[in-house]
Structure 1
């Protein structure tokens, strides 16, 4: 609404460590999604804190617009792609119901986001690095005989958090089509995260801190690798230490 002075944004962006997490989250929800959602969230908080008054009708805005969508429980990923393509840019709150099932509202909607979170973690999508060697080395297998993990329904094993799987810059035509599908899945992931933030939903997606840094446009260094693969990161750091030691000894020898 433009009611906040510009220094509020500048201060929270430049010095976030000055503010507790709850304050930063409150500022985010008060400024990121428009006036109607900010007022709606404040009213919800007042009701939860028991601070509502007898005259609260005078200050209450209309309910947020809601958009009901119907999805297939057996094809959550495909259904989510269509739903986000149509409604992710709209301000209406999504309410989900399933084909052939009775019921709508908060329960089915929360279940939808949970099921979608699990589907996005499946090894068969080839989106994420995994501690399972079969998943990370499947690019070296003949395309006609590729087997990813123990099955396409298995979730990626990533105890330190999910991090995108690296791909070679030179891929053949078959892997190129697979890469385009993976790109679409990451685009879907971004839309789902944005919609979940907008609607106040939770996602069961344990993303690694290193991936968050990439999403914020920050560069990764050697030490960040340990955030999603401790063993690999330790090996690289030891190799880096050997290189530095070699360079130091060579500099002494040249004197």
Structure 2
């Protein structure tokens, strides 16, 4: 593989880790770059290889959050187990079918999300304690299964969807949502990695250097998010959602 390709992939991976640490969606940066630079590789090989830097960056970001943000470990343990299994199944399906049919649906979901977040100024600014324990567990199961499968099957934007689930469904503020989302995202990445390693789809020549760069970006991004707080994360969330819309809009209408 050409050296300049690896350099460009590493640059994309750094920015992906930075964005992903704050609100998720880092895959929206490094996935299209990888597909453009390596058009002869299968989608499964690219997605599988990118799980390594994604896991690395999420790990470093999660460690930063762990030091500053209190987490609900009982709830997270359940979500991580379910998300791992769902991501494994989603990646298994990716090896045999195309995922293009999901993009139009996601495009319109994201439009609604962007409008709602923009209009509701207090969205994700404080925690909502109104859910009972049973309701919280039920919602957590649904989020874990759906988003976990999505991450294994499609991937880009998973962190943002997890943040959305924690904020809009479970009632977390943006800071706690980002912290908890990182832990679940680790499980989805690991589930996919296990499947892709079994299938021999990971190309370590660019996955390893990208992992170091993604980790550095994740470390910096998490520290910035913790320092700036909910208002900053909300604005960044809107920015990433709009970029996601543009990306999916291109795939749906122009590609």
Question: TM-score interval w.r.t. the shorter chain?
Answer: under 0.3
Query: Which structure is larger by alpha-carbon Rg, 1 or 2?
Result: 1
Q: TM-score, normalised by structure 1?
A: 0.27
Q: TM-score, normalised by structure 2?
A: 0.27
Structure 1 or 2: larger helix share? 2
